Structure 1
Amino acid sequence: MPQLILLNKPYGVICQFSEHPTHPTLKSCVAQSGVYPAGRLDTDSEGLLLLTGDGALQHRIADPRWKLPKTYWVQVEGEPKVEQLEMLRLGVDLGDFVTQPAQVRRIDSPELWPRNPPVRFRKTVPDCWLEIIISEGKNRQVRRMTAKAGLPTLRLVRVAIGPWKLDGLQPGEARAIEVSLQDLPRAQSAGRGGKPRTNTPQAQSPAKAGKKPAFRFARGNKL
């Protein structure tokens, strides 16, 4: 079966293996050769990144037609109003495209690793955390969505892609699993625009009601 690598990409690491003049690359976290990211994660974002050397699996994960849900914990500046959250849920006009409806809810501050460098706060402006689940992956989409809603992103952590979760991986740690393409969600009948719908279930929230979202920190392996 194809191998899939789950990596907790640290802040500031650029999603490429070739040398970069100003940023560390994925080579600083994953020494294994012949693997490539299935999708991307912004340099200033953290969290789950999937890598594989299997072309069919990489295409299956990265192809937007399959619409695997991606779950983000987002620290935003400001105190969200009902209409701002509703704007994010219904879709945001970003000028070049309108986002699809998203699942958005406010969560307690999650128990995460310290970010390096730390987030810069303004003492006079409150902040809070949102959980945002989308099935798209346009460039800097979540940051653009929250900014358009008047809630600039301070920190962004991706905690799940489809059925795969960080599950305790600390920044720079990775683990490898075997994946069967037959076990992944299959496309159903085509929807608007001829794109296939999927039977992917909506991602379950990593945070249980009334409890702080948290990871089980575990020692991982550098691959």
Structure 2
Amino acid sequence: MSLILFNKPYHVMCQFSPHPTRETLADYLSIPDVYPAGRLDADSEGLLLLTDDGKLQHHISHPEHKQFKTYIAQIEGTPDSSAIRRLQGALDLGDFVTQPCKAVQIQQPEWLWQRNPPIRERTNKPTSWLAITLSEGKNRQVRRMTAAVGLPTLRLVRIAIGPFSLETHPLWPGEWQEVSAETVK
């Protein structure tokens, strides 16, 4: 049984099949029969787990198993205490209401790599960073949450899934590492 930690670069598709205009996981990983346990949008970056074990894939990605996922988001604007409280609570996004989560303002981590291409800089619009830890992970959830409180996400990086973190397993974008699957169980 394989468990692979992969730092997905910006604009890479979370699929092995060819894409007409973008790189895919196949451009970085040539390990047979592994599949992502969860996904990241093309415009999100960071930690992705892949495995060749269907039960483990389900255990990692299904919300009932509560594998917490931590994201850092560079946002446009500066959050006030009201915005942070709204992010932490049940937030109605129209088609679903989020589960309560952990959300805090942070400084940009020193270990974080530069994105290629870089985020556009606007001299009249400050940016800030948030760390958000979820027990769920619906499509574009963090981006939708920050937008709902008036703080659009400019850059989104998943830094942790369950016991695995890019802080404790440092990988540059496009790098991968095999780890023990027993850690997840």
User: Is the shorter-chain TM-score for this pair beyond 0.5, marking a shared fold?
Assistant: yes
- Equivalent residue for 1:180? 182
Q: Does 1:129 align with 2:121?
A: no
Q: CA deviation at 1:178?
A: 2.1
Equivalent-residue separation in structure 1 for 2:158 and 2:6 (angstroms) = 11
Q: CA deviation at 1:81?
A: 1.0
**SS of 1:49 mapped into structure 2:** strand
Q: CA deviation at 1:121?
A: 2.3
- Equivalent residue for 2:115? 115
The aligned amino acid for 2:2 is: Q
Deviations 1:35-65 (A, max 9, x none): 0000001110010000001111111111111
Q: CA deviation at 1:141?
A: 0.2
**SS of 2:100 mapped into structure 1:** coil
Equivalent-residue separation in structure 2 for 1:72 and 1:59 (angstroms) = 21
- Equivalent residue for 2:89? 90
- Equivalent residue for 1:139? 139
Q: Does 1:6 align with 2:5?
A: yes
Deviations 1:84-132 (A, max 9, x none): 1100001211000010101011111112111011101221011111110
What fraction of aligned residue pairs are identical, expressed as a percent? 58
**SS of 2:26 mapped into structure 1:** helix
- Equivalent residue for 1:170? 172
**SS of 2:85 mapped into structure 1:** helix
Equivalent-residue separation in structure 2 for 1:116 and 1:149 (angstroms) = 27
- TM-score normalised per structure 1: 0.79
Equivalent-residue separation in structure 2 for 1:63 and 1:134 (angstroms) = 13
Equivalent-residue separation in structure 1 for 2:78 and 2:180 (angstroms) = 42
Question: Unpaired runs of 5+ in structure 2?
Answer: none
The aligned amino acid for 1:153 is: T
**SS of 1:180 mapped into structure 2:** helix
Question: Unpaired runs of 5+ in structure 1?
Answer: 185-223
Q: CA deviation at 1:74?
A: 0.7
- Equivalent residue for 2:101? 102
The aligned amino acid for 2:102 is: Q
The aligned amino acid for 2:13 is: I
Equivalent-residue separation in structure 2 for 1:180 and 1:108 (angstroms) = 33
Equivalent-residue separation in structure 2 for 1:24 and 1:56 (angstroms) = 28
Equivalent-residue separation in structure 1 for 2:71 and 2:119 (angstroms) = 17
The aligned amino acid for 1:176 is: E
**SS of 2:118 mapped into structure 1:** coil
- Equivalent residue for 2:152? 152
Q: Which has the larger radius of gyration?
A: 1
The aligned amino acid for 2:95 is: D
Q: CA deviation at 1:180?
A: 2.3
Equivalent-residue separation in structure 2 for 1:81 and 1:173 (angstroms) = 36
- TM-score normalised per structure 2: 0.95
**SS of 1:65 mapped into structure 2:** helix
The aligned amino acid for 2:145 is: M
